[in-house]
């Protein structure tokens, strides 16, 4: 097993991240596997070095040490674990898809797509309502570039997989999301594209993550296959810790961070126990 813990440095870690880390390290340990630490800083507008430092400090305080790269390697400077260092990797993957006739330019905004579609699809990443792209730009002949994003043509059909916690699943990516946005109009690589390329390049065999990302699985499986992956990773989607409003914990809502709990004098054992108890009572 090679799995990963992949936080985004857009805020401090909270109990929801800790719960994911508990599952990642426990399942990897049970299988004699390896945990890679990936800093998913593809969102260059919101990622901050101080949040990365906070993530590393919290992991070290908790005693959760990745196998590759080490925390000390991150602190030393450039290393193999940051998405911001993989821009050539993503460009090469996009060019491969482009040679296969899979890529076209798209200058649509979210509001424009919603105006045309007139409905909201499945609940997607981070609990946001997902708008299935309607293919408006697929025949316009636009090329990706400044002000024009890049979309990948997906094939219609059903993707099936046996989730390690939820059992047999089937998803229809084209109906869920339409053609996949790989790079947005500002030139930023998207979550869906970057993590799929990274998981393939890094030989990730097991993806362990929260149920809020379940809907991403089918499209990531198909994209990986288009990029040459013959066997998809195994997927395990664990429960989420919910706040008092019934929603998942969120950095944007200011939910209690590990940094706050540390400052309040709680020990690593108490914080880990709190994360476990929160999901057990959900």
CA atoms of 67 and 28, how far apart (whole Å): 11
DSSP structural state of residue 156: P
Residue ranges in 44-86 assigned as alpha helix (H): 49-62, 71-76
The terminus-to-terminus CA distance of the chain in angstroms comes to 29
The answer for residues whose C-beta is within 8 angstroms of residue 95's C-beta and 6 or more apart is none
Other beta carbons less than 10 A from residue 228's beta carbon: 9
The reply to whether 276 belongs to the active site is no
Q: List the catalytic residue out of 248, 251, 253, 276.
A: 251
Three-state secondary structure of 105-168:
EECCCHHHHHHHHCCCCCECHHHCECCCCCCCCCCCCCCCECCEEEEECCCCCCEEEEECCCEE
CA atoms of 149 and 113, how far apart (whole Å): 14
Active site residues: 251
């Amino acid at each position: 097993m090679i799995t990963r813990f992949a936080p985004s440095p857009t805020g401090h870690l909270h109990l929801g991240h800790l719960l994911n880390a508990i599952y990642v390290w426990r399942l990897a340990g049970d299988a004699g596997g390896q945990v890679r630490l990936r800093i998913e800083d593809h969102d260059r507008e919101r990622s901050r070095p101080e949040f990365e430092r906070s993530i590393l400090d919290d992991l070290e305080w908790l005693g959760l040490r990745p196998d590759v790269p080490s925390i000390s390697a991150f602190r030393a400077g450039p290393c193999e674990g940051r998405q911001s260092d993989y821009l050539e990797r993503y460009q090469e993957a996009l060019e491969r898809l482009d040679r296969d006739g899979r890529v076209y330019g798209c200058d649509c905004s979210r509001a424009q797509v919603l105006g045309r579609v007139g409905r909201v699809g499945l609940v997607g990443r981070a609990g946001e309502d997902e708008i299935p792209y309607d293919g408006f730009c697929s025949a316009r002949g636009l090329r990706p570039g400044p002000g024009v994003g890049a979309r990948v043509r997906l094939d219609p059909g059903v993707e099936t997989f046996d989730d390690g916690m939820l059992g047999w699943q089937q998803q229809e990516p084209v109906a869920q999301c339409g053609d996949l946005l790989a790079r947005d109009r500002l030139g930023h690589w998207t979550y869906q594209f970057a993590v799929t390329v990274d998981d393939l390049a890094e030989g990730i065999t097991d993806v362990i993550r929260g149920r809020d990302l379940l809907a991403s699985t089918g499209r990531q499986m198909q994209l990986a296959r288009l990029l040459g992956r013959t066997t998809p990773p195994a997927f395990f989607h664990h429960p989420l810790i919910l706040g008092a409003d019934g929603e998942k914990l969120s950095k944007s809502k200011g939910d209690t961070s590990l940094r706050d709990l540390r400052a309040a004098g709680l020990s690593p054992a108490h914080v880990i126990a709190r994360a476990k108890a929160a999901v057990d009572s959900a």
